[in-house]
Structure 1
Amino acid sequence: MTADSRATDRALPVAEPFRIRRAALRLIRLDGRAFAAMIGLNALAAGAGLVGPWLLGRIIDEVRAGGGVAAVDRLALTILGFAVAQLLLVRYAGYIGHRFGERTLARIREQFADRALALPAAAVERAGTGDLMTRGTTDVAAVGAILRDAGPEVLVAGVQALFILGAVFLLNPLLGTCGVLGLLGIWFAARWYLRRALTAYLAEGAANSELAEQLAATAAGARTVEALGLQQRRVAACREGIEKCRSARTRTLFLRSVLFPAVDISYVIPVAGVLLIGGVLHDQGAMSVGAVVASALYLRQLSQPLDVILQQMEQLQSSSASFARVEGLGTAAQAPQAASCAPADDRIEVAGVRYAYDDGGDVLHGVDLTVRPGERLVIVGPSGAGKTTLGRLLAGMDTPRTGSVTVGRVPVAGLDPDRLRRHVVLVTQEHHVFLGTVRENLRIASAGATDAELHAALAAVGAEWADELPDGLDTDLGHGGHRPDGARAQQLALARVVLADPHTLILDEATALLDPRTARHTERALAAVLEGRTVIAIAHRLQSAHDADRVAVMEDGRITELGAHDDLVAAGGAYAALWSSWHGERQASS
């Protein structure tokens, strides 16, 4: 398997064309009145625009027939009146169209946020944050452009083009046929373009996502890159991503360079054909000069809506690719095999579990473990032993290659997100402080929590510092406000867990950034708050293992020892060696 195919396998999905059409129709139905009003007003504007060329032909015929100045002035004023009416109709239709687009874009942004939050963490990690970030910014903005501008403009231009062709046919069917045949060049060029454009724009979007991921990873790991001397390697990777973007962009530019010249030539052909055939018909007395001029003006006027259609066709293809990427998030956010039944109890069982990342070898080898309801289990072991991987499986973030991980005899990974979070919550070393107040940061876990409950949650994790902030719970956090350090940010994350009130809590070295005294206080506070609940802690500091009901020792992807702290120390095995080493280091440091 090549690197490109592996990247494709890891990427977030892209929606099929029928899903895009269904999603677009759903968005239109949600604001159907505004959409219908926009199309109706533009149709009226198109009808008003047809009056000018026809009246101009009447003026020519009136002058040739020796008509007076008053008749010409009356026709000219009528042209002016319809032009003003068309201006007002177009302006009001544009106002309604932009309001429709902005409301629809707001719905798309809200839907995207909901879907992004519902994504399995494993899917985001495989795809990379660059892909998700590009879809949430560039692609969503492109979809907004198609809904606010490109889509309505193409529909309106299509109505105008039909009206104009209909007017030519009414003047003379032969001239109308000539005009349609002269436009065949545009049809062939557009068909050639459309067959290739969507694939090219999807490739351009994928290349942009890959480059964003490379740049984000390089910036986030800048210190590591510098420390390990990886600058040249990262520069080479970024240059490769830039080259892919350039190549994809060049492909879409080539398609446009073929389309637009062919279109420009095709505009001249029907006008020239109408003038030639119209001249012959006039010589034979079949048409007046005014009718020939009006037909030519109509076909010349046809270039304006066709220009809109063709210019926006590029935007439509680009935005359709973006829409496919945005809508594809809904496919990734679905739980395809959600369990239909609720867990019978809170018992967690791991049976014969093996797990491998991507195409690598197994990192877990036949793990068996039973966690009793209300038990406090600590998983310890050297770095790389598989502790975090096991924690992810217990939390339902990944699915084992073989074997099973169940809660109440129901597969954990098969539970829908809402039901899963009521049973199991994973807290890792990673933490995030959201822009907003302390109260808003905490209420993410429980929207209806009272201030008393928020203070209790902070106190439970040893975050009394929150009471000392200038505005208490209303203190802004992040840029321009209070910036919590790593320890305080982690305490906020733990306070959110307390408010979420899960029945099983998995702590993946969740107190690693706290100093030993604060960590000890936080772990004791959590133990008191979560009394009667299942707590699974993956720990570096073995002090937490001392307080556990049982300790599981992992080595090379296997559980090699399982039992109470005192029993394992007395057994003199791997855990006893870890305890002795850690206890000795602690005494030396003190």
Structure 2
Amino acid sequence: MADPTPTTSTGSTRPKKSTVASLMRLRPYVRPVRGRLVGSALTALLSTTTGLMIPLVVARVVDGPVAERDTGALWPWVLLLLALGVLEAFFYWARRMLTHRSLPRVEETMRNALYEHLQTRPVSFHDKWQSGQLLSRASRDLGQLRQFLSFVVIFLFVNAATFVVGSVLLFTVNPVLALIVTAVAVPVMFLSHLFEKRYAVVTRRAQDQAGDVATVMEESVLGIRVLKAFGRNRAMDHKYAALTRELRRTETEKARLVGIIWGVLVAVPELMVAAALAVGVLQVADGATTTGELVAFFAIVMYLRWPIESFGWLLAATTDAAAAADRYFEVMDAGGEIPERERPIDPVRVTGALAFENVRFRFPDGPSDAPELLRGVDLAVRPGETIALVGPTGCGKSTLTALVPRLYDVTGGRIALDGVDLRDLPVERLRRIVSVAFEEPVLFSMSVRENVLLGFPEGTDEDVERALRVAQAEFVHDLPWGLDTRIGEEGLDLSGGQRQRLALARAVVSRPAVLVLDDPLSALDVHTEAQVERALRAVLATTTALVVAHRPSTVQLADRVAVLDAGRIAAVGTHDQLLQRSAAYRHLMAADTPRLRAGREHHRTPAQEAV
């Protein structure tokens, strides 16, 4: 990953927030269902309180009808116990209903908010983040937060309240024994504090490592052809196994810590109960308490065992949720959204005049002392003109084209459309004016029609057919369901040339005022390329176009050629003019001169042929 700040395999580099502070950030998402959550907590408390009443009734039964052998007086107590049991079950059912009807809405809201956030971030944001890390936050981390909100947070409250209410009842029944039993809270709280500090570090490391594992898995699936072609399956297996081994070690460390706290939370209370039992038996022998009271006391103690013993698991789950919340909000807090001017300009009519004025650019997350990639680009593209952009590899051609639809923003100078700074145009409007086809085409798991109309949803089948003809992509009619054929993930069931042609059709379907083509024909064979170029000429005649060209045949599409070198425009002119006066251009074209001549012959007009 380019920037370790968002997340690394060893944990976040950001200052650690407290568990409470991390979880309190969930309030905006929980607020719409807080009434149901409060109701769920109250019904859980009522259920627990009802259960705590049962030992007190049992004490009355033991000291009353049982001690006096009065079976006739036993039945009212039995009915009361039955009623308490039914009431406890009803409150438990009500809690479950309130929780499970509200918490899925919270998870849905958070998941949608994360997806929307990712869609609105600029390309520079996605350059920093591994996709697997983002996916793990949208799945694993949100799952942990759902578990926390639906179960853990309620029982943290309920168990704490149960311990308080139970302790009050214990002191009511037998103050001496109650003092012995409740003394368990002091060592438990101290040890739990130590546990939480250590566990927070380990659980964050486990979550980051899970994200790394997801990243390698995703990359391996998407790049399976490359791995197989280069015979790197085993090497990637070893890398993946190493990551999963580290994750297993971290998860084992988590389990060890949880085991320790569970052991403490079981052993310490048991010692206290043993001590209280010994003292209680002596009290019964001395007549200081009754058998019924002793039975009721220890029935309440047994009822309190789960709240005490579960505290370790609840604490661990709370720490997991806090780490998940931190990871979720690391993404949500990440800035970089493309800024909108306070009063953006939205021209009614666009002619397509494009001007680069002293354009400078440095990647936002690059070193501050790194040289600028673009160092003062000046270029004017007239309405309806096609400019071919050529230059050596790495000179910034693709970056310059990415600035036009504002995938990145200039760091100096400006780009103007019809005299209006692109930053003064609403982004959504700009991206309806400017259409782009990239060298690496990306298609989605949807139908051919949906892929072509991705940026032009109001388009018709007639528009699609026209765009397919321009891109020479009429092969889609041979697919099983024609335009309705669902393309596999990233179009991997199509050839590279077929994917490029569909991406080109997507770019031209809306008849954009400005068309940006980043070497969109590189995967085509010579004959198909010639056919596409012939059809594309009609499109370029009616739009302003900036075309990154690596092939001489692509240069033939342009009215003029601009040579980008060392971050600046070194020369602008027609192909013949640049061959005469630009050494850099001659050097770029030298290896392809024979092919260029062949291309000229191929593109000769009927009039030229007649001559």
Name the TM-score, length of structure 2 as normaliser.
Answer: 0.81
Worse-superposed segment, 50-59 or 248-257:
248-257
Residues 294-335 of structure 1: CA deviation (Å, up to 9, x unaligned): 232222211213334431322222233223222322222652
- In the TM superposition, residue 263 of structure 1 has moved relative to its aligned partner by 1.0
Write the letter of the residue equivalent to 2:183: L
Range 438-447 or range 426-435, more displaced: 438-447
1:30-179 aligned within 5 A: 30-63=32-65, 65-66=67-68, 68-171=70-173, 176-179=178-181
Structure 2: distance between partners of 1:519 and 1:120: 32
Structure 2: which amino acid aligns with 1:550? R
Matches of 1:317 and 1:411, distance apart in 2:
48
| Cα contact 2:514–2:544 (8 A) shared by 1 | yes
Q: Distance in 2 between matches of 1:507 and 1:455?
A: 20
TM-aligned CA deviation for residue 97 of structure 1: 1.7
Percent identical across equivalent pairs?
A: 23
1:463 is aligned to 2:473? yes
CA distance in 2, matches of 1:171, 1:336: 67
After alignment, is 416-425 or 223-232 more displaced?
223-232
Provide the secondary structure at the position in 2 that maps to 1:536.
strand
Q: Does the Cα contact within 8 Å between 1:105 and 1:147 map onto a contact in 2?
A: no
Match runs of 1:492-531 below 5 Å:
492-498=502-508, 503-522=513-532, 528-529=538-539
In the other structure, the counterpart of 1:568 is 578
After superposition, residues 318-337 of structure 1 pair within 5 angstroms as 318-332=320-334, 335=337, 337=339
The 8 Å contact of residues 124 and 132 in structure 1, kept in 2 or not, is answered as no
RMSD: 4.0
Q: Aligned letter for 1:7? A: P
For 1:137, the aligned partner's letter is: S
Match of 2:350 in 1: none
Cα separation, 1, equivalents of 2:286 and 2:424 = 81
For residues 544 and 154 of structure 2, the distance between their equivalents in structure 1, rounded to whole angstroms, comes to 56
Amino acid of the structure 2 residue aligned with 1:362: P
Deviation digits for residues 27-66 of structure 1 (CA, Å, limit 9, x no counterpart): 2222234323322322332222122111111112114651
Separation of aligned partners in 2, 1:185 and 1:416: 61
- The equivalent residue for 2:360 is 353
For 1:391, give the aligned amino acid: T
Q: Given the superposition, is the C-alpha separation of residues 540 and 43 from structure 1 closer, same or farther in structure 2, using an over 3 Å criterion? A: same
The partner residue of 1:370 within 364, 379, 382 is 379
- Partner Cα distance (1:194, 1:10) in 2: 21
TM-score, normalised with respect to structure 1: 0.84
State the distance in 2 between where 1:82 and 1:107 align: 38
| Counterparts in 2 of 1:172 and 1:262: CA distance versus 1, 3 Å | same
Asked whether the 8 Å contact 2:553–2:596 carries over to 1, the reply is no
Residues 152 and 582 (structure 1), Cα distance of their counterparts in 2 relative to 1, 3 Å cut:
farther
Paired position in structure 2 for 1:488: 498
Partner residue in 1 for 2:5: 8
Q: 2-side partners of 1:447 and 1:16: how far apart?
A: 44
- Give the alignment partner of residue 435 of structure 1, picking from 439, 445, 470: 445
The SS at the match of 1:535 is strand
* Counterpart AA for 2:441: H
Q: Distance in 1 between matches of 2:464 and 2:146?
A: 38
Q: Is the 8 A contact 2:52 2:303 kept in 1?
A: no
Q: Tell me what 1:403 maps to.
A: 412
After superposition, the Cα gap between the structure-2 partners of 1:494 and 1:352, relative to the gap in structure 1 and judged at 3 Å, is closer
What CA distance in whole angstroms lies between the structure 2 residues aligned with 1:417 and 1:21? 34
CA distance in 2: counterparts of 1:310 and 1:295, whole angstroms: 24
Does the residue aligned with 1:31 lie in a helix, a strand or coil? helix
Question: Measured at CA, do residues 539 and 135 of structure 1 come closer, stay the same or move farther in structure 2, by a change above 3 Å?
Answer: farther
CA distance in 2, matches of 1:505, 1:306: 67
> Does the C-alpha gap of structure 1 residues 549 and 226 become closer, same or farther in structure 2, counting only changes over 3 Å?
same
Distance verdict in 2 for CA 1:123–1:186, change over 3 Å: same
Equivalent in the alignment of 2:402: 392
Matched, 1:188 2:190: yes
CA contact (8 A) 2:50 2:87 kept: yes
- For structure 1, the 5+ residue unaligned runs are none
Distance 2:4 2:244 in 1: 16
**Matched position secondary structure for 1:8:** coil
Question: What count of residue pairs does the alignment treat as equivalent?
Answer: 585
Q: Cα 1:310–1:68, aligned 2, differ >3 Å: closer, same or farther?
A: same
Contact 1:363 1:556 in 2 (8 A): no
Q: In structure 2, the residue corresponding to 1:429 is in which secondary structure? A: coil
Shift of 1:415: 7.8
Relative to 1, partners in 2 of residues 1:160 and 1:13: Cα closer, same or farther, differing over 3 Å?
same
- Closer/same/farther in 2, CA of residues 89 and 373 from structure 1, 3 Å limit: farther
- The answer on whether the counterparts of 1:373 and 1:534 sit within 8 Å (CA) in structure 2 is yes
Residues in 1 aligned to 2:458 and 2:21: alpha-carbon distance in whole angstroms:
36
Whether contact under 8 Å (1:550, 1:565) holds in the other structure is yes
Of the three residues 262, 268, 271, the one matched with 2:270 is 268
Q: For residues 201 and 126 of structure 1, do their structure 2 counterparts lie closer, same or farther at Cα, with a shift above 3 Å needed?
A: same
Taking a change above 3 Å as real, the CA distance of residues 222 and 52 of structure 1, as seen in their structure-2 partners, is: same
2:26 is paired with a residue whose SS is helix
Provide, for residues 381-400 of structure 1, a one-character-per-residue CA deviation record: whole Å limited to 9, x for no partner.
23333322333344433456
